[in-house]
């Protein structure tokens, strides 16, 4: 059954990025009805992740403008399109930048979350169903971002990119699980898999890296070495179980050598959460030979190329990467929300700032100055 509102255009406020690096402008947009296999969501809370900032700056990424950014959010389903059977108006949901169609070889594999149909595509600004945008201003299309575009009071998302969660979960907290925190947590718990008593280096102590540190703490790692160029991050990181700190700027040799000296040859696991190519290489080279595993999480620039001597691989160092911490968004995210509900996972310490939607550009400033971990953007009531 498709509800009546599912056929209506909604006029609402959205923050539009008209040009790279220019402040977002709150505009009145028209949000078209959800088409087949799509849902329209009323966004209540959204937060800013560094990936939004990269695509807004578009320095190392394909520029797609005008665009509505945003991909960490919590909301309530307003209406559903044809063929949507497992979501209904009123469901509490988290939209996710990567999807799970539940039918392709990846979705059927226990090892992969790289859905063939709904895998992240940062260059696409339209819906996959019909190649069109659901947002417009006076008839001019405004592009989507990673299928979520949550910097809008209403957005249209493919059903495969929507996780239905416990309605008792506070959306102003669990919205951060939509991307960054789950990514960091899963990168450690699902991919790096440190054992009890092991050593783990975390490169980049933003929200993603601190979530990776939280994963290391939950796994029982005994040494968690935080690496960041911003020493201000070290105070905060103590709350997340980071036991030691290394600022690469304090040394005149590569940070991988510093870490090898600190750990008798290298760490057991490392997780890179910076997006910096140099940090990715260091994160790989700082793991112990024989068994060390490095996991890359940061989003690289478009033209980056990873360079290391192949002997590192022959010496049995393993290099891995992950999207969304290897979680399948629809199947696994509800249980990450439950980790918060059961008080295993604390989200409050990640949320350092909050602004009303009208001040969304402040969230960008906080992130660019390195002041915030996560800034929650509260949508109008």
Which residues are known to be catalytic? 49-51, 71-72, 101, 104, 107, 115, 119, 179, 374
**Do the beta carbons of residue 58 and residue 20 sit within 8 Å?**
yes
Beta carbons of 15 and 151 less than 8 angstroms apart: yes
Q: Which of 66, 248, 266, 329 binds ligand NAD (CB under 6 A)?
A: 248
Contact between residue 231 and residue 302 where contact means Cβ atoms under 8 Å apart? no
Report, in Å, the least distance between residue 97 CB and ligand NAD: 8
282 CB contacts (<8 Å, ≥6 apart)? Answer: 203, 227, 248, 254, 255, 256, 259
Counted residue by residue, the chain has a size of 381
209 binds ligand NAD (CB under 6 A): yes
Segment near Zn ion (CB under 5 A), from 5-13, 101-109, 303-311, 357-365? 101-109
CB-CB neighbours of 63 under 10 Å: 15
Site for ligand NAD in 283-342 (CB under 6 A): 297-299, 322-324
176 binds Zn ion (CB under 5 A): no
Q: Is 311 helix (H, G, I), strand (E, B) or coil?
A: helix
Taking CB within 5 to 8 Å according to partner kind, which of Zn ion, ligand NAD, none is near residue 205? ligand NAD
**What H or E segment, with its residue span, contains residue 377?**
strand 374-378
**Longest Cα pair distance anywhere in the chain, in angstroms?**
66
The yes or no reply on residue 21 touching ligand NAD (CB under 6 A) is: no
Q: Decide if residue 162 touches Zn ion (CB under 5 A).
A: no
Task: Give the nearer residue to ligand NAD in terms of CB position, either 81 or 95.
Answer: 95
Closer residue to ligand NAD, CB minimum distance, 77 or 259: 259
- Name every residue whose Cβ is closer than 8 Å to that of residue 110 and which is 6 or more positions away in sequence: none
Question: How do strand 162-164 and strand 92-95 relate by DSSP bridges?
Answer: antiparallel
Q: Which of 10, 15, 24, 104 binds Zn ion (CB under 5 A)?
A: 104
Q: Is 85 exposed, middle or buried (0-12, 13-18, 19+ CB in 10 A)?
A: exposed
Nearest residue (CB) to ligand NAD, 33 versus 298: 298
Q: Is residue 204 a contact residue for ligand NAD (CB under 6 A)?
A: yes
Is 276 among the residues that bind ligand NAD (CB under 6 A)?
yes
- Among 16, 73, 181, 205, indicate the residue that binds ligand NAD (CB under 6 A): 205
- DSSP characters for 157-207? EEGGGEEE--TTS-HHHHGGGGTHHHHHHHIIIIII-PPTT-EEEEE--SH
Smallest separation (angstroms) from ligand NAD to the CB of 279: 4
**CA 126, CA 164: separation in Å to the nearest integer?**
23
Q: Which of 273, 333, 360, 376 binds ligand NAD (CB under 6 A)?
A: 273
Per-residue binding string, ligand NAD, 217-236, x by CB under 6 A, is ----------xxxx--x---
| Site residues (vs ligand NAD, CB under 6 A) | 49-51, 54, 179-180, 183, 203-209, 227-230, 233, 248, 273-276, 278-279, 297-299, 322-324, 370
Residues lying near Zn ion in the complex (CB under 5 A) are found at 101, 104, 107, 115
């Amino acid at each position: 059954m498709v509800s009546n509102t599912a056929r209506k255009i909604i006029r609402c406020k959205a923050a539009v990025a008209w040009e790279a690096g220019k402040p977002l402008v709150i505009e009145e947009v028209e949000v078209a009805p959800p088409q087949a296999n799509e849902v329209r969501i009323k966004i209540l809370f959204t937060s800013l992740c560094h990936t939004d900032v990269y695509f807004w700056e578009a320095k190392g990424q394909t520029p797609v403008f005008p665009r509505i950014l945003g991909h960490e959010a919590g909301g309530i389903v307003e209406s559903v399109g044809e063929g949507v059977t497992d979501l209904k108006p009123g469901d509490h949901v988290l939209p996710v930048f990567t999807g799970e169609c539940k039918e392709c070889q990846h979705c059927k594999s226990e090892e992969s979350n790289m859905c063939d149909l709904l895998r992240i595509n940062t260059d696409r600004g339209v819906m996959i169903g019909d190649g069109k945008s659901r947002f417009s201003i006076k008839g001019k299309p405004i592009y989507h971002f990673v299928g979520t575009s949550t910097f809008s009071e209403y957005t249209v998302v493919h059903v495969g990119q929507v996780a239905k969660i416990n309605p008792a979960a506070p959306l102003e907290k669990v919205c951060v699980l939509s991307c960054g925190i789950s990514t960091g947590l899963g990168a450690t718990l699902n991919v790096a898999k440190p054992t009890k008593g092991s050593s783990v280096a975390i490169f980049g102590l933003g929200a993603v890296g601190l979530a990776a540190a939280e994963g290391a703490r939950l796994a029982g790692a005994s040494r968690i070495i935080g690496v960041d160029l911003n020493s201000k991050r070290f105070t905060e990181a103590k709350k997340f179980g980071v036991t030691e700190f290394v600022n690469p700027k304090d040394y005149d040799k590569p940070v991988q050598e510093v870490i090898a000296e600190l750990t008798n040859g290298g760490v057991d696991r490392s997780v890179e959460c910076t997006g910096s190519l140099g940090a990715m290489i260091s994160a790989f080279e700082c793991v112990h030979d024989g068994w060390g595993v490095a996991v890359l999480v940061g989003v690289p620039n478009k033209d980056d190329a990873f360079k290391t001597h192949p002997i590192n691989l022959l010496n049995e160092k393993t290099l891995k990467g992950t999207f969304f911490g290897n979680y399948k968004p629809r199947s696994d995210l509800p249980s990450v929300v439950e980790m918060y509900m059961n008080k295993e996972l604390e989200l409050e310490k990640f949320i350092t700032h909050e602004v009303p939607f009208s001040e969304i550009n402040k969230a960008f400033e906080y992130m660019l100055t390195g002041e915030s971990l996560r800034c929650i953007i509260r949508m109008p009531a």
